[in-house]
Amino acid sequence: MPEVSANAEPIPITIPRRLDPEDAQLALQKLQVLFKREEVVEALADKAEDDERANLLDGALQRQLENEIREVIQGLHPADIAFILESLPVEPRQLVWRLVGPDQAADVLLEVDDWARESLIESMDRQDLVAATGTMDADEIADLVPDLPPDVVAEVQKGLTEEERAQLIAAMGYPEGSVGAIMDFDMVRVREDVSLEVVLRYLRRLHELPDHTDQIFVVDRQDRLQGVLPLTTLLVSEPDSDVSEVMNTDYLTLGPLDEDTEAASGFERYDLVSAPVIDDQGRLIGRVTIDEVVDVIQEDSQEQALSRAGLQEEDIFAPVISALRNRAPWLLVNLCTASTASFIASRFEDTVSHIVILAFLMSIVAGIGGNSGNQTMTMIIRALAVGRVTGSNIWQLIKRELSVTFMVGACGSIVTGAFAWVISGSAAIAAVMMAAMIGNMLIGAALGVLIPLLRDRFGKDPAVGSSVLLTFATDSLGFFIFLGLATVFLL
């Protein structure tokens, strides 16, 4: 047995780093503390009487700050760095971005949201942009092309092979929101007339498998897709078997012009990790992977949440004028709708002046109608997103929602009527309250179905501003129904 020297240095052991979303949160908190401390120190330096000494102090503090920032972000995953950049105001964001290593810059650009990416690219010089994008695949470069200067795109194209250049041009030609815009060109394909042993030898010669490779695509000599060979099948089957004997011919295919939300629905329904993309002639041109699908689902969810309030995604640290352009239009629409509802209520001034308690009760009618409509609208928008609404079931949906709303309204109106009777002491007011509540809830349910369906029918996003339109209708008609019934039956 060989002797070991007592003075021998211990062999370093590399401990794998476990990814944890909380790491990004902790790093962000540390950076915020650093920037807060920097603001205090700069304020003190500005008060220094000796300008030369203050400048030296500023330089030393700046270098110290940069070193501390590097220590914080060192070793973080590109997605965590992207989260930090999106969570910082513009100036600190630019400082942190300058300190991101060149080996991570490309991955971070792909991870950040579009609104943040634009500001990061604007702060980079041409040489750094070319260096960062030069390491990307064609499909990744295509994602950044809308934000890149034309001369940078031209320079990057020079460094691509003919095949990569053709892939980039093809990817750039597909519209945003299509499968072609998110598909990946990096995949493994084999012929159906070879043995599994040949396939295994071929895979071992590869440097590495493309990310999210769960199946190999089987093509003929014209690149037409014939089937898929799952890796699990490849590993457990006899090596002397032919690919054609064990491949699957029952698989999901996508077209490059299909909507990415349709691809997401397919992945969700069939629990897929990847799916082939074929052209009109059945030739394999790319694949869609689960990581892109998850991004599509998340972006679609965020857009729906913002669209219902009439908003677009914005930098939360952007200048006030930018936020104003984003938020003002639908707020102005909301102001007009609220004014219309108030105008309708003012037409019943005599009724309210005779029965003052109506002024306190009519807001309940409007609010309940709006809430009921929003519940229905949320269900319909979700059903539209996953393709469950068709021309043949629209009226069935409307009748179902009206039935459900009527039953809920009937039960709720008993509680509301009892409340109105307690505070007013009038059974007639309670009856009017119950009737108005059921009527406005039915209106809210009907509009909750019709508004998103009509917007979808005319090619508009069903979620954009839908809540504003629904609130306008339920407020205006709620006041009209309640006060109109009160005028007829109580005066």
- What's the rounded Cα separation, in Å, for the pair 228 and 243? 9
pLDDT at 2: 43
Q: What H or E segment, with its residue span, contains residue 278?
A: strand 274-278
List, by residue range, all CATH 3.10.580.10 domains of the chain.
189-307
pLDDT at 314: 62
Long-range contacts, stretch 435-439, CB < 8 angstroms, 24+ apart = 435/485, 436/365, 436/478, 436/481, 436/482, 436/485, 437/364, 437/365, 437/368, 437/369, 437/409, 437/412, 437/413, 438/406, 438/409, 438/410, 438/413, 439/481
271 φψ region: left (φ > 0), alpha (ψ -120 to 50), beta (else): left
- What's the rounded Cα separation, in Å, for the pair 167 and 183? 11
CATH superfamily of 320-490: SLC41 divalent cation transporters, integral membrane domain (1.10.357.20)
List, by residue range, all CATH 1.25.60.10 domains of the chain.
22-177
List, by residue range, all CATH 1.10.357.20 domains of the chain.
320-490
pLDDT at 193: 92
CATH code: domain 189-307 is 3.10.580.10
pLDDT at 244: 93
- pLDDT by residue (tens digit) across 145-161? 888 888 888 888 888 88
The tokens for 275 are 């799916």
Instruction: Report, as ranges of residue numbers, the positions in the chain whose pLDDT lies below 50.
Output: 1-16
Residue 66 C-beta-side C-alpha neighbours within 13 Å = 13
pLDDT at 305: 67
| CA-wise closest residue to 223 among 269, 279, 166 | 279
Residue ranges in 391-465 assigned as alpha helix (H): 394-424, 427-457
- pLDDT by residue (tens digit) across 109-130? 988 888 888 888 888 888 888 8
CATH code: domain 22-177 is 1.25.60.10
pLDDT at 310: 60
Give the DSSP letter of residue 216. E
pLDDT at 10: 45
Helices 466-490, 320-346: crossing angle, 10 deg rounding:
20
pLDDT at 42: 65
- What's the rounded Cα separation, in Å, for the pair 468 and 337? 8
Q: Is pTM, for the whole model, over 0.85?
A: no
pLDDT at 47: 56
pLDDT at 216: 96
| CA-wise closest residue to 259 among 393, 353, 384 | 384
Specify the residue for token string 């072609």: 180
Give the DSSP letter of residue 286. E
